[in-house]
C-alpha cells in the first residue's frame, strides 16, 4: 500500500519521470499524491489530496519544471486522514530534505513527543513525518554522513518501512532509501538511476532491477546506486531481469483495467498451464517439484489472504481429490498469530499475486520456523515471497492493475490444479489416465473461457446485472469445489459495488442465513455437474419458495430452470468448473459496479497489495 518513486537523472528534468511512475503506481493508493524535486539549490514540494490528477493540475499551475532529482508518493492513509498536509513527501531539516514512506511506524507517538521536546514542529498527523524529522536531527549531528544518520534514525524506530529521502550531498542531489518490510526496487537506466516500491515503475527505464533486502540501505546518484546491508557493509544484490512488457500495464482501449484483465484470462490460463503439461506422460512439469521433493509430503498448509485464499480453497479440493493429501486452509492473518501445530513433512503453500502481502509473508515465515518447506504460487517476478520460498510456481498473469483481482485468481487456481496433479503423480495417488483426463479438460478451457467472454455473453451479463443492481443484498451459494467460488463472487461484488454480499456453503443455509431471504435478496447459485447437483437444486428451490430471486451460474440445466436469470457455462470436469464459473461472477460484479457508478479500478478504502497489517 502506497506507491513510492524516485529518480536522480544526469541532466533531464525529473518531474515527468516521477509523474509517469506515480501514474503506474496509483493503484497502490489513491488518497493523495505528491512530489518533491531538488533543483540543486532547494527542495520544491507539491502535494494534493485526492487522485494524481489533482496533483498534476496543481503542478501545471506552478513553475515546477526544473530539477533532475526527486521523489514522489501516492498514499493509502494509515495515520491521519487524506489531506494535503498528510500527503507525502514530508519536509524536514528546515526544508532541506524531503521524505516519502510506505509502512507503519508503531512507536510514532513516543518519537513525536521526544522530537517536540527538541523543538521540532510537525506539519501533519502522520506517523511518517516522525521519521523525516528523526533523520533530519541525526543528519545534522552526523556531519553530513547520510548513511550513518539513517542507520541512527532507523535504530529508534519500531515498525515497517520502505523509505526514501531526497537530500543534498557533496556530489549533488541524491536519494537515500531503506527497506524493512515493504518492498523497494532500484534500477540504472540510460539517463539516470531510478527507485520504486513496485517494479512496474522501473520497467520503462530498465528491465534489470535490483530488489533491496530487509535491512538494506541504498544510495542513488545520477551515476548509479550503492547498497549496504544491515551492518553497513557494501553489498551486491543480483539484478533480476523482468520479462514483462511495460505496456502490458496500460489499459489500452478498455474502459477499466478490471474488464481488460477479465478478458485476458483465456491467454493467462494458456501461459500458466500449457507449457507445463505433459499429456503423454499424464503429468505436469514443475521444475524443483520432482517426485523426490513431493513424495514425502504428509499435509499441505495453505496460507493466503482475500481472493488468493479463495484460490487456496479451490486448491484444497483439488489436492485432496487428486493427490489424497490432507490440506488445511487458513487466513494468513489468523495463522500467523496462533500457536499452530504443523505435522512433520508439511508443505506450506502460499498463494499471492503480489508476493508482498505482509500477513502471507509472516505466516510462511512461521511455517518455516515450524519446520515446513514453503511453496509459493506467485505472480510478481522477484517478489519477497518468491525470494524466500523453497519452491515456486510462477503464474503468468502479467501485471494486474485492477484492485479487484481477476486474472491472478484464475492463474492461481490453475497453478493449484497443476500442483495437485504433480503431487498425486509423485505420491502415486493419481493414475496417468485420470491425470490425462484433467489435462485434456484444462487444454479445452481456453476456448471455453473465450466462449464466456464473447460480446454477446458480456451483453447478456450486463442485462442480468441490470436486473439485480438494486437488490438490497446478495447471497452466493455453492457446494464442494464451487463453495470457494461463491465466496469469491461475493467478495468481488462487495469490494467494487459496496453492496452487502455473502458467500455461503449452500448446505449451511438452513442453519441461519435462510432467514435473510425475501424478495429483495438475490441468490446467486454456483453449480456444476456433480453428485451434489441435486442437493444444490433443492437449496435453490428452498430459497425460491421464500421469495428469493435466483441467478443461476454453471452448467446444471435443472437448476437453471428454477432461476430468473441464468448464465450457462460450457460443461467441463467438476474439478475444473471453478475456472469457468468465476468468469460470469466477475462480469456480474463489474456490470453492477458500473451501473452503480462506482470507481471500479480504484474502489474506496482499498489499494492493491496489502504490504502492512
Ligand atoms: C481482492 C483482492 C485481495 C487480494 C489479497 C491478497 O480482489 O485482490 O483480496 O487477493 O489482498 O493479495 P495477494 O494475492 O497479492 O497476496
- pLDDT digits over 452-493, tens only? 999 999 999 999 999 999 999 999 999 999 999 999 999 999
Give residue-wise pLDDT tens across range 554-596: 999 999 999 999 999 999 999 999 999 999 999 999 999 999 9
Number of domains in the chain: 3
- Judge residue 494's burial from the number of C-beta atoms within 10 Å of its C-beta, 0-12 exposed, 13-18 middle, 19 or more buried: middle
Residue 116 placed within a domain: yes
492 among known catalytic residues: no
Residue 516 placed within a domain: yes
Q: Read off the CATH number of the domain in which 101 is found.
A: 3.60.20.10
Closest CA to 289 of 184, 367, 377, 361: 377
The alpha carbon of 432 and the centre of ligand 1 are apart by a number of angstroms equal to 34
8-state DSSP, 200: G
User: Residue 55 and residue 52: Cα distance in Å, rounded?
Assistant: 5
Residue 245 placed within a domain: no
Please name the residue ranges forming H helices in 454-576: 455-468, 483-497, 533-545, 557-560
Asked whether residue 424 falls in the same domain as residue 532, the answer is: no
Give residue-wise pLDDT tens across range 111-150: 999 999 999 999 999 999 999 999 999 999 998 899 999 9
Q: Phi and psi dihedrals of 443, rounded to 5?
A: -60, -35
Q: Cell numbers for 196, please give them.
A: 520504486
User: Is it the case that residue 330 has pLDDT exceeding 90?
Assistant: yes
Asked whether residue 128 falls in the same domain as residue 31, the answer is: yes
The alpha carbon of 164 and the centre of ligand 1 are apart by a number of angstroms equal to 26
> What is the full DSSP assignment across 257-288?
HHHHHHHTHHHHHHHHHGGGEETTTTEE--TT
Asked whether residue 416 falls in the same domain as residue 321, the answer is: yes
Asked whether residue 67 falls in the same domain as residue 205, the answer is: yes
Residue 66 placed within a domain: yes
> What is the full DSSP assignment across 334-365?
HHTTS-----TTEEEEEEESSS--HHHHHHHH
Q: Cell numbers for 323, please give them.
A: 493427490
- Among the listed residues 47, 260, 492, 608, the single catalytic one is 608
Instruction: Check pocket membership of 385 for ligand 1, CB cut-off 6 A.
Output: no
Residue 606 placed within a domain: no
User: Is it the case that residue 65 has pLDDT exceeding 80?
Assistant: no
Q: What is the mean pLDDT of residues 342-371?
A: 97
User: Is it the case that residue 529 has pLDDT exceeding 90?
Assistant: no
Asked whether residue 47 falls in the same domain as residue 157, the answer is: yes
The pTM of this model reads: 0.95
Handedness of CA 260, 262, 264, 268 (dihedral sign): positive
Instruction: Check pocket membership of 360 for ligand 1, CB cut-off 6 A.
Output: yes
User: Is it the case that residue 334 has pLDDT exceeding 80?
Assistant: yes
Instruction: Check pocket membership of 589 for ligand 1, CB cut-off 6 A.
Output: no
User: Is it the case that residue 63 has pLDDT exceeding 80?
Assistant: no
The alpha carbon of 71 and the centre of ligand 1 are apart by a number of angstroms equal to 27
Residue 394 placed within a domain: yes
User: Residue 393 and residue 375: Cα distance in Å, rounded?
Assistant: 8
The alpha carbon of 483 and the centre of ligand 1 are apart by a number of angstroms equal to 18
Asked whether residue 439 falls in the same domain as residue 464, the answer is: no
| Closest ligand 1 atom number to CA of residue 409 | 10
Residue 565 placed within a domain: yes
Residue 231 placed within a domain: yes
Q: CA 331, 266, 324, 335: dihedral to nearest 10 degrees?
A: -10
Give residue-wise pLDDT tens across range 157-204: 999 999 999 999 888 999 999 999 999 999 999 899 999 999 999 999
Which of 405, 426, 453 terminates a domain? The answer is: 453
Give residue-wise pLDDT tens across range 132-141: 999 999 999 9
Task: Print the domain residue range for 64.
Answer: 3-237
458 among known catalytic residues: no
Instruction: Check pocket membership of 357 for ligand 1, CB cut-off 6 A.
Output: yes
Tabulate helix, strand, coil % of the chain (nearest 5): 40, 25, 35
Res 188: pLDDT: 96
Which of 186, 207, 237 terminates a domain? The answer is: 237
Which of 453, 474, 506 terminates a domain? The answer is: 453
Asked whether residue 344 falls in the same domain as residue 391, the answer is: yes
Q: Phi and psi dihedrals of 232, rounded to 5?
A: 90, 5
Asked whether residue 70 falls in the same domain as residue 169, the answer is: yes
Closest CA to 284 of 430, 455, 74: 430
Asked whether residue 224 falls in the same domain as residue 311, the answer is: no
Res 78: pLDDT: 87
Asked whether residue 197 falls in the same domain as residue 265, the answer is: no
Asked whether residue 127 falls in the same domain as residue 68, the answer is: yes
Q: Read off the CATH number of the domain in which 569 is found.
A: 3.40.50.10490
> What is the full DSSP assignment across 61-100?
TTT----SEEEEEEE--SSS-S-TTTSSPEEETTTTEEEE
Asked whether residue 476 falls in the same domain as residue 461, the answer is: yes
Amino acid at each position: 500500500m502506497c506507491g513510492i518513486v524516485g529518480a536522480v537523472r544526469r541532466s533531464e528534468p525529473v518531474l515527468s519521470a516521477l509523474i509517469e511512475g506515480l501514474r503506474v503506481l496509483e493503484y497502490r493508493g489513491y488518497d493523495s499524491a505528491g512530489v518533491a524535486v531538488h533543483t540543486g539549490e532547494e527542495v520544491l514540494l507539491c502535494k494534493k489530496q485526492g487522485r494524481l490528477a489533482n496533483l498534476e493540475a496543481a503542478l501545471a499551475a506552478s513553475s515546477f519544471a526544473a530539477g533532475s532529482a526527486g521523489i514522489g508518493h501516492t498514499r493509502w492513509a494509515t495515520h491521519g486522514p487524506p489531506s494535503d498536509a498528510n500527503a507525502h513527501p514530508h519536509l524536514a531539516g528546515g526544508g532541506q530534505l524531503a521524505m516519502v514512506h510506505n509502512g507503519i511506524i508503531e512507536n510514532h507517538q513516543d518519537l513525536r513527543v521526544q522530537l517536540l521536546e527538541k523543538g521540532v514542529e510537525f506539519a501533519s498527523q502522520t506517523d511518517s513525518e516522525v521519521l523525516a524529522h528523526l533523520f533530519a536531527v541525526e543528519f545534522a549531528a552526523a556531519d553530513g554522513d547520510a548513511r550513518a544518520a539513517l542507520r541512527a534514525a532507523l535504530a529508534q524506530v519500531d515498525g515497517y518501512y520502505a523509505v526514501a529521502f531526497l537530500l543534498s550531498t557533496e556530489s549533488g542531489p541524491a536519494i537515500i532509501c531503506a527497506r524493512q518490510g515493504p518492498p523497494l526496487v532500484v534500477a540504472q537506466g540510460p539517463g539516470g538511476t531510478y527507485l520504486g516500491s513496485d517494479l512496474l515503475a522501473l520497467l520503462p527505464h530498465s528491465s534489470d532491477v535490483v530488489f533491496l533486502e530487509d535491512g538494506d540501505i541504498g544510495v542513488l546518484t545520477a551515476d548509479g546506486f550503492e547498497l549496504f546491508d544491515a551492518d553497513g557493509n557494501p553489498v551486491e544484490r543480483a539484478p533480476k531481469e523482468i520479462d514483462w512488457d511495460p505496456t502490458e500495464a496500460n489499459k489500452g482501449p478498455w474502459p477499466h483495467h478490471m474488464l481488460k484483465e477479465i478478458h485476458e484470462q483465456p491467454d493467462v490460463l494458456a501461459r500458466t498451464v500449457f507449457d507445463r503439461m505433459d499429456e503423454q506422460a499424464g503429468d505436469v512439469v514443475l521444475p524443483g517439484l520432482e517426485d523426490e521433493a513431493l513424495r514425502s509430503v504428509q499435509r499441505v498448509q495453505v496460507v493466503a489472504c482475500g481472493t488468493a485464499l479463495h484460490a487456496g480453497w479451490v486448491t484444497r479440493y483439488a489436492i485432496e481429490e487428486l493427490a489424497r493429501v490432507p490440506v488445511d486452509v487458513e487466513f494468513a492473518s489468523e495463522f500467523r498469530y496462533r500457536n499452530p501445530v504443523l505435522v512433520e513433512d508439511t508443505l506450506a503453500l502460499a498463494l499471492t499475486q503480489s508476493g508482498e502481502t505482509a500477513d502471507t509473508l509472516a505466516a510462511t515465515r512461521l511455517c518455516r520456523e515450524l519446520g515446513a518447506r514453503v511453496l509459493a504460487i506467485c505472480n510478481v517476478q522477484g517478489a519477497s515471497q518468491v525470494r524466500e520460498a523453497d519452491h515456486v510456481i510462477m503464474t503468468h498473469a502479467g501485471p494486474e492493475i485492477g484492485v479487484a483481482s481477476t486474472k491472478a485468481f484464475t492463474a492461481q487456481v490453475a497453478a493449484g490444479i497443476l500442483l495437485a496433479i504433480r503431487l498425486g503423480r509423485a505420491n502415486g495417488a493419481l493414475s496417468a489416465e485420470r491425470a490425462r483426463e484433467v489435462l485434456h479438460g484444462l487444454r479445452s478451457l481456453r476456448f471455453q473461457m473465450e466462449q464466456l467472454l464473447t460480446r454477446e455473453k458480456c451483453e447478456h451479463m450486463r442485462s442480468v446485472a441490470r436486473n439485480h443492481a438494486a437488490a438490497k443484498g446478495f447471497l452466493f451459494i455453492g457446494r464442494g469445489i464451487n463453495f470457494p467460488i461463491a465466496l469469491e463472487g461475493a467478495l468481488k461484488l462487495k469490494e467494487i459495488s459496496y453492496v452487502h454480499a455473502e458467500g455461503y456453503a449452500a448446505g449451511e443455509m438452513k442453519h441461519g442465513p435462510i432467514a435473510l431471504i425475501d424478495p429483495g435478496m438475490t441468490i446467486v447459485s454456483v453449480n456444476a455437474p456433480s453428485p451434489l447437483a441435486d442437493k444444490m437444486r433443492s437449496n435453490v428451490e428452498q430459497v425460491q419458495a421464500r421469495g428469493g430471486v435466483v441467478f443461476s451460474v454453471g452448467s446444471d440445466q435443472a437448476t437453471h430452470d428454477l432461476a430468473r436469470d441464468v448464465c450457462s457455462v460450457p460443461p467441463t470436469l467438476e474439478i475444473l468448473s471453478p475456472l469457468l464459473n468465476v468468469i460470469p461472477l466477475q462480469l456480474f460484479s463489474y456490470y453492477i459496479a458500473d451501473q452503480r457508478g462506482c470507481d471500479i479500478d480504484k474502489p474506496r478504502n482499498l489499494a492493491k497489495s496489502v504490504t502492512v497489517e
